[in-house]
């Protein structure tokens, strides 16, 4: 038995409605308990801001495409090198760090759980291998179904239960966490060098529309009682005028779940553009945020873009090719049979680019215009909008109008006519930030029940202590102090054990993979369905028996089980 007492902690814990109370947190064997004995190790938190461990609900950090980003960019690897020191492995990479680089840097910022935004089922083993080398965070994997042939056939036949059965088998086979749709239908079309422009186009050869795929899988997801909702990267990412596609997509979403949203729309900044071309692009954050305000069944994340160098990587293969034709830098693409695609290009977001300045403003506008912070989470679609190490600056911008004004003075002078950011006075509170960086993620992902995202009794002792006293800091004025505090915790505690101290990693760490399994009735075991098996055998290049990820790849795991209602 190990016991730890974190004393004198200034706690903000939105899931338990705690807002700035100074208290002691008792921890036994990795979990938060009522009290501990006198022999417990004591850490004096000195009245510092204490939050549940950070949770990133949409980031690209492990798997085939992420690793290809590293592979093709030695220049990015050189831009973020650290030497082997103490218990820390050498790390490389700025926008796409090595697994240890990701893990150490997230941990120094207080993050203890992360969700990989896009895993192709066929290549799931790769993601899990990298998870094992990401020692300081628990990990989850969004599993791609946007171009799944068997799912699209079920959609065409309007057979929601069959779609649910395919999802259930696949998630359990690849140890995935949730349904991810990236440009649904578009990635399959890209297999022929084509794309879909929005939700009413028809996917070549399948006679289904993105709207039908989205609607069917939202319903299938709820039949399976999965912890998270469908996680959607909308069609037509990054194109001027695409906000209408986004609004049309939001209109498809029924309210099916009392405990959380029915749709998680990711990196909405990239989907809130007005105008008809790059010449007249402008912000449509207002109509998009207002739609979210009217629809409690939708949660979004910002997909904030920050100026500087980064790498774009997504399963949205056709979008990356279009982006490549704009940037003429270097382009990788990786289409995955019967499932999905992906693309990668490096980018530089410049304050001299009007388009980039509008993008920067839109992300912040979304966070300030969505009334309820539980509905707009903080993320950059790491590394697409910016590497995750930029999160503290985003927190600073959201909490300080003065900081925003100072930044606005440095960007392209034509920007103001196309945005509303300069008119927004709202400054988010410490409590809002706690929601947008952990509590909201835990609720949206459906992992509060396994103890994530809060500091109440029975919670998992994942805790971040930031070296700042909120009573002594005015974030509106002292935003630099806020940014600095969120860049490096005094202590990050994972499962009751201090893992980083002042940014230095002090343990080797052992991650845990969280995955979801929905038990379906025997009649819906798709692995015994003739047609499914025949499609598999005929078109995949691996045998069905070799497809599931073996237990060896998840040496430590938590399976969230549910009973499907089919």
Partner 1 sequence: MVCPYCACLCDDLDVTIEGNRVTGVDNACDLATHKFQTGNRLPGPIRLTGKGWTGIGREEALDFTVEMLLDADRPLIYGWSTTSVEAQSHGIHIAEEIGGVIDATTSVCHGPSILAIQEVGHPGCTLGQVKNRADVVVYWGCNPLEAHPRHLSRYTTYADVRKTESANVADEFLHLKPGGDYAVLGALRAIVRGKTDFIPAHVAGVPKAQFLRIGEICKGAKYGAFFFGVGLTQTAGKYKNIRNAIELVDELNRHTKWTLTPMRGHFNVYGFNEVCTWATGYPYAVDFSRGMAFYNPGETTAVDILARKECDACLVVASDPGAHFPRAAVEHLASIPVVQIDPMVNATTAFCDVQMPAAVTGIDAEGTAYRMDGVPIRAKKILDLGYPTDSAILGEIYRRIRDERKVREVKGT
Residues that bind partner 1 (CB under 8 A): 62, 64, 67-68, 70-74, 77, 81-85, 89-93, 97-101, 122-123, 125-126, 129-130, 133, 190-193, 321, 324, 330-338, 344-345, 539-543, 546, 550, 552
Collapse the DSSP code of 538 into the 3-class scheme (helix H, G, I; strand E, B; otherwise coil) and give the result.
helix
CA dist 512 and 491 (Å) reads 20
- Cβ closer to partner 1: 63 or 363? 63
- Cβ closer to partner 1: 4 or 96? 96
Q: How many CB atoms lie within 10 A of CB 201?
A: 18
Helix residue ranges, H only, 56-159: 64-71, 74-78, 99-108, 124-132, 149-156
- Cβ closer to partner 1: 78 or 449? 78
Half-sphere exposure of 12 (CA within 13 A, CB side): 24
User: Smallest distance, Å, CB 106 to partner 1?
Assistant: 15
User: Smallest distance, Å, CB 209 to partner 1?
Assistant: 22
- Contact criterion met (CB below 8 Å) for 315 and 271: no
User: Smallest distance, Å, CB 540 to partner 1?
Assistant: 6
Q: Report which DSSP code applies to 85.
A: B
CA dist 332 and 324 (Å) reads 9
User: Smallest distance, Å, CB 88 to partner 1?
Assistant: 11
- Contact criterion met (CB below 8 Å) for 199 and 249: yes
Buried b (16+ CB within 10 A) or exposed e, 519-540: ebeeebebbebeebeeebeeeb
Which residues are within 8 A (CB) of 534 and not within 5 positions of it... i.e. 6 or more apart? Answer: none
Helix residue ranges, H only, 138-284: 149-156, 160-174, 186-190, 210-223, 243-250
Nearest partner of 211 among 248, 259, 179, judged by Cα:
248
CA angle 138, 144, 146 (to 5 degrees): 155
Q: 374: which 2 tokens?
A: 């539980």
In sequence order, what DSSP letters do the residues of 359-389 get, joined into one string? Answer: HHHHHHHHHHHSS-GGGEE---TBTTSS-GG
- Cβ closer to partner 1: 33 or 133? 133
- Contact criterion met (CB below 8 Å) for 152 and 217: no
- Cβ closer to partner 1: 115 or 189? 189
- Cβ closer to partner 1: 62 or 436? 62
User: Smallest distance, Å, CB 314 to partner 1?
Assistant: 15
User: Smallest distance, Å, CB 94 to partner 1?
Assistant: 10
User: Smallest distance, Å, CB 80 to partner 1?
Assistant: 8
- Cβ closer to partner 1: 451 or 509? 509
CA dist 298 and 251 (Å) reads 10
User: Smallest distance, Å, CB 318 to partner 1?
Assistant: 10
- Cβ closer to partner 1: 392 or 509? 509
- Cβ closer to partner 1: 183 or 221? 183
CA dist 261 and 61 (Å) reads 25
Q: 292: which 2 tokens?
A: 């979210």
CA dist 396 and 339 (Å) reads 39
User: Smallest distance, Å, CB 163 to partner 1?
Assistant: 21
- Cβ closer to partner 1: 48 or 324? 324
- Cβ closer to partner 1: 144 or 359? 144
User: Smallest distance, Å, CB 359 to partner 1?
Assistant: 23
User: Smallest distance, Å, CB 144 to partner 1?
Assistant: 13
Environment class of 413 (CB within 10 Å of its CB; exposed 0-12, middle 13-18, buried 19+): exposed
């Amino acid at each position: 038995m190990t016991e730890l007492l974190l004393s004198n902690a200034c706690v903000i814990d939105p899931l338990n409605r705690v807002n700035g109370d100074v208290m002691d947190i008792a921890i036994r064997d990795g979990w938060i308990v009522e009290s501990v004995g006198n022999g417990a190790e004591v850490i004096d938190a000195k009245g510092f801001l204490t939050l549940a461990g950070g949770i990133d609900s949409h980031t690209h950090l492990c798997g085939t495409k992420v690793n290809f980003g590293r592979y093709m960019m030695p220049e990015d690897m050189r831009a973020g090198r650290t030497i082997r020191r103490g218990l820390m492995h050498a790390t490389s990479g700025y926008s796409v760090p090595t697994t240890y680089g990701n893990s150490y840097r997230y941990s120094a910022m207080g993050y203890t759980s992360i969700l990989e935004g896009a895993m192709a089922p066929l290549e799931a083993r790769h993601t899990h291998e990298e998870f094992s080398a990401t020692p300081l965070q628990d990990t989850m994997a969004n599993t791609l179904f946007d171009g799944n042939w068997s799912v699209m056939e079920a959609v065409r036949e309007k057979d929601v239960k069959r779609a649910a059965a395919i999802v259930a088998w696949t998630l359990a086979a690849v140890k995935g966490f949730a349904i991810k749709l990236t440009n649904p239908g578009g990635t399959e079309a890209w297999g022929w060098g084509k794309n879909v422009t929005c939700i009413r186009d028809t996917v070549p050869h399948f006679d289904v529309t993105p709207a039908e795929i989205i609607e069917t899988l939202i319903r299938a997801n709820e039949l399976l009682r999965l912890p998270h909702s469908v996680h959607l990267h909308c069609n037509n990412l990054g194109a001027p005028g695409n906000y209408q596609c986004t609004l049309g997509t939001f209109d498809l979403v029924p309210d099916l779940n009392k405990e959380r949203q029915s749709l998680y729309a990711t990196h909405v900044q990239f989907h809130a553009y007005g105008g008809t071309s790059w010449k007249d692009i402008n912000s449509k954050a207002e109509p998009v945020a207002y739609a979210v305000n009217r629809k409690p069944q939708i949660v979004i994340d910002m997909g904030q873009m920050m100026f500087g160098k980064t790498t774009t990587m997504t399963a949205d293969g056709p979008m990356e090719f279009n982006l490549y034709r704009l940037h003429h830098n270097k382009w990788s693409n990786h289409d995955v049979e019967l499932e999905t695609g992906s693309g990668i290009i490096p980018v530089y977001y410049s304050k001299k680019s009007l388009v980039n300045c509008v993008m920067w403003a839109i992300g912040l506008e979304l966070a300030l215009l969505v009334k309820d912070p539980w509905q707009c989470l903080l993320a950059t679609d790491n590394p697409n909008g910016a590497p995750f190490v930029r999160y503290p600056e985003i927190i600073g911008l959201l909490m300080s109008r003065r900081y925003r004004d100072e930044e606005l003075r440095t960007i392209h002078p034509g920007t103001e006519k196309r945005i509303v950011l300069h008119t927004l006075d709202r400054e988010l509170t410490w409590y809002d930030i706690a929601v947008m960086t952990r509590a909201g993620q835990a609720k949206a992902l459906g992992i509060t029940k396994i103890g994530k995202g809060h500091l109440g009794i029975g919670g998992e002792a994942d805790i971040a202590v930031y070296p700042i006293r909120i009573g002594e800091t005015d974030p509106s004025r002292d935003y630099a102090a806020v940014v600095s505090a969120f860049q490096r915790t005094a202590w990050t505690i994972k499962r009751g054990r201090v893992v980083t101290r002042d940014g230095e990693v002090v343990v080797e760490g052992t991650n845990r993979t969280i995955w979801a399994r929905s038990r379906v009735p025997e009649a819906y075991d798709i692995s015994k369905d003739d047609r499914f098996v025949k499609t598999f055998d005929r078109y995949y290049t691996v045998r069905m028996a070799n497809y599931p990820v073996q237990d060896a790849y998840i040496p430590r795991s938590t399976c969230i089980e549910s009973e499907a209602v089919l």
